[in-house]
């Protein structure tokens, strides 16, 4: 089995569960995924909730990635103005097998023109703001996550775990995803249309 490299982007003010929820699912299969964290520079990056996560490497030194994960959080608003970061996302995504965002991380994928013309979702509480940053996207409010070819976008926070399991199912098969959910003692909502947080 080929071991895939998963790169998780972090930036000041990222949402912790957006990052660690999905990563925990992939970490259930260390034989299949190598996880690295990336930021503008190596070292600690402070999350929105306070604790810092250490970036393993700087984006300028990033190796090729098979999977790219972008969390959301309040810090996405500042990250949107970082042209170098957005350019790196665009370039890295072009060579990745899967690119995924959680929550308002979709705004960063949208800014990199990765979502244009296709469906995507984001956090309900920030939906109008994210959708307003890039109207050329088919923004879908009622969706736990959206899968559009190589692009996955998840709704708010915990939805990233459901999306991560869907990504594992895409890459390794449904049984692998079910096994990861079982190991994590997590009840997987495997239907992206089943979104209990969306209002009619």
The predicted-structure confidence for 56-95, as pLDDT tens digits, reads as follows 999 999 999 999 999 999 999 999 999 999 999 999 999 9
pLDDT at 133: 93
Burial label for 191, CB within 10 Å (0-12, 13-18, 19+), is exposed
Handedness of CA 125, 128, 134, 137 (dihedral sign): positive
pLDDT for the residue numbered 68: 98
Q: In the predicted model, what is the mean pLDDT of residues 141-159?
A: 95
Q: Are 119 and 109 in contact (CB under 8 A)?
A: no
List of domains in the chain: 4-183 (3.40.50.880)
Q: Is the pLDDT of residue 175 over 60?
A: yes
Residue whose pair of structure tokens reads 């370039």 in the numeric block: 91
Mean of all residue pLDDT scores within the chain: 95
Does the structure show a pLDDT above 80 at 188? Answer: yes
Residues 19-38 have a mean pLDDT of: 97
How much is the pLDDT for 115? Answer: 97
Res. 200: pLDDT tops 70:
no
3-state class of 79 per DSSP? helix
> Can you read off the two tokens belonging to residue 74?
């309040």
**Alpha carbons 16 and 70: distance in angstroms, whole number:** 12
pLDDT band at 199 (very low <50, low <70, confident <90, very high): confident
- pLDDT of 196 reads 86
Catalytic residues: 103
Question: C-alpha angle 112/127/65, rounded to 5°?
Answer: 35
Structure tokens given for 192: 């992206």
- % of the chain at pLDDT higher than 90: 94
pLDDT surpasses 90 at 4: yes
- pTM for this one? 0.96
Exposure pattern of 82-120 as b/e (b: 16+ CB <10 Å)? eeebbebbeebbeebebbbbbbbbbbbbbbbebbeeeeb
When pLDDT is averaged across residues 153-158 and rounded to a whole number, the result is: 92
Mean per-residue pLDDT for 180-199?
91
How large is the average pLDDT for residues 5-25?
98
């Amino acid at each position: 089995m080929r071991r895939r490299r998963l790169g998780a982007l972090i930036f000041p003010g990222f949402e912790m569960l957006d990052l660690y929820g999905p990563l925990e699912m992939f970490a259930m299969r260390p034989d299949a995924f190598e996880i690295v964290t990336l930021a503008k520079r190596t070292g600690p990056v402070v999350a929105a909730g306070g604790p810092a996560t250490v970036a393993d490497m700087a984006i300028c030194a990033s190796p090729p990635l098979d999977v790219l994960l972008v969390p959301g959080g309040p810090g996405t608003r500042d990250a949107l103005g970082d042209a170098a970061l957005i350019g790196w996302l665009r370039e890295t995504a072009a060579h990745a097998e899967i690119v995924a965002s959680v929550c308002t991380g979709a705004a960063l994928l949208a800014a990199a023109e990765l979502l244009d013309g296709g469906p995507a979702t984001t956090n309900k509480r920030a939906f109008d703001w994210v959708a307003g940053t890039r109207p050329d996207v088919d923004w879908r409010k009622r969706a736990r996550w959206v899968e559009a070819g190589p692009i996955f976008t998840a709704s708010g926070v915990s939805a990233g775990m459901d999306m991560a399991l869907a990504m594992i199912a895409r890459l390794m098969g449904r049984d692998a995803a079910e096994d990861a959910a079982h190991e994590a003692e997590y009840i997987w909502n495997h239907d992206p249309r089943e979104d209990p947080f969306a209002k009619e």
